[in-house]
Structure 1
Amino acid sequence: MTATARPPRAWELQTVLLMLAIGAAMVPSMVLLVSDLMIRSILLSAEFSGLSPLLLAVVENSGLINALFLLLTLAYIGGYFWWRRRTRDMLAPISGGTGDPTVHWAVQAWQLAIVTSFVVRFGNTSSDSTRDGIATRLVWDAIQAGVRLAGLVLLLVGVWQIREQVRRRVAEIGVDLRIRNTGSGRVPLVAPLGMPAIPAAADLEPADDGFWQRVGQLADAAGADLALLEITGKATRRWALVSPAGDLAAVRAAVPDGAIVTVFAEPPSAADTTAFIPAPADYYHGFLEDGVTGAFSYQTVRPTGVPVFLARARNARRWALYPTESPSSVTAVAGTA
């Protein structure tokens, strides 16, 4: 079963909260729209005898309703632009693909609706206090409220669609942004678009004393930390480091039984990625060490995703891109000795 890369849960929660704020702003807009139309209808009725208690309450509290709408408007507009900046910051390390997933025509239409509502507001300058004059002003008020409500609906649609676009972009790129630090400095990261074939445990040698002795010899020969890839189950891949002349017993003890262990002879690099050209392969194992926390993250990389991986690696402390069929690696299965 293939796992799908997803945006962070915090971002998903922020998106839901933004949509709730937009929905909350719709309520006073709908109240004002409906009340304007009903009051106009009653005013022009031949049997006009006054307003119902409900409409009278709306009229008496119209200032409070407008103030509430203004407060909610400031909240959702500020929230939208903050959310959009956070979304672009989130996507910056994995920039790739065509188009900007944070752009949607519905958001542009919402911006046009805001401008239109202001035009309508400043065009409603009648001071006629007759019944017909008041009815005319109510029509303009209703148009303004309707335009604002339509704009809110468009923005809600736009945010919903942007969320879907961002989810698709993250899945296409293959970088799971839901990174959790497990406390051991090894952070699982899964890929959405398929995994390279996992060798059968029965076809592998056991990770016995002889295997770990070879691993130690590789680290000593390299004179630097070597990347150890641990595969458990169908989709969980985690990195660890094997240090030259280090404590192999601790590394060995941390590997669970049944895990497939691969150690690569080329150490992760801190070099610039600009001139790097990987060896041809169907898949690559991507190693990234966070420049701030030192946490490790794994990424399955297809050839089409190499430029995106290298762009992300520029901000890493160390990085590596290993062909899945690396001839210089050694592989074994833990717990079968």
Structure 2
Amino acid sequence: MISYIIRRVLMAIPLLLGITILSFALIKAAPGGPVAMLMDPKMSDEDKVKFEERYGLNDPIPVQYVKWLGNMVKGDFGTSLIRRGVPVSEMILNRLPNTLLLMIVSTFLAIFISIPFGIMSAMRPYSKLDYSVTVTSFLGVATPNFWLGLMLIIVFGVQLQWFPTGGVSTLNAPFSIWDRIHHLILPAFVLATADMAALTRYTRSSMLDVLKQDYIRTAKSKGFKEKKVVIKHGLRNGMIPIVTIFGLMLPSFIGGAAITEKVFSWPGIGLLFIESAFTRDYPVIMALTVISAVFVVLGNLLADILYAIFDPRIEY
């Protein structure tokens, strides 16, 4: 297992390198840039040249990429072009805990709600419960995150005033765990909705196939309780497709977090990515792109490791 993990990590290096090359080229090909947004229209051409030289924006694109890559390998993502003098790593580290908190809560919420409902739906196929879970799942998949977030803000934040409409904590209030949880409930639910719905459907489909197997019927015929048969024998063998979806969920939370954080003004790296995209802050965009790519690699690696844990027949 250890040698397999090392091989996968080594294989991820050229993949991440290719992602950085493609991302850097696309960012530079985009119209506009931070220079046009920052420079004073009254600046002379000489001052504009000095401005570009200061940030290395007048170098050829391959040279800019090589310089950025060399610094990135050392752990230096550069400084923000918009927030002059502020290190990119500092900006990300200040916001990363908020996004990780949102992702962790959303992931557990999706898992602990979707898998039990998927199992119950598979145990009673074509029942009222099954149809209810199916309809709810389809609605969850079809509902855009931003629309659901806005509706929840209007209903529960504005009209009922049960939850705050944005932010990570109450402004100028002392630290309180309940206050953080109060602000976290709506964005975590919105972020988990789409993956919760998809995971429920995959759990139902996987468990339906497993419950039709001969060893399940044999266990039931021996007098074992249905719940014990399903949980102990059926769920473990039906977890492989579910683990695959779980591995793909981790990187998808980064993209979903950007929209959710924007709607709820949640100060995380998703909101930072949107702000940087609008202002053409290249160093921040590239740093967040690398982080997202790392999450994709880690998500797939985690899924492969979980395969062997849930199914001992899988060897590496």
Fold shared per TM-score above 0.5: no
TM-score (norm 2): 0.26
Name the structure, 1 or 2, with higher relative contact order (CA <8 Å, separation 6+).
2
Larger proportion of helix: 2
Larger proportion of strand: 1
TM-score (norm 1): 0.24
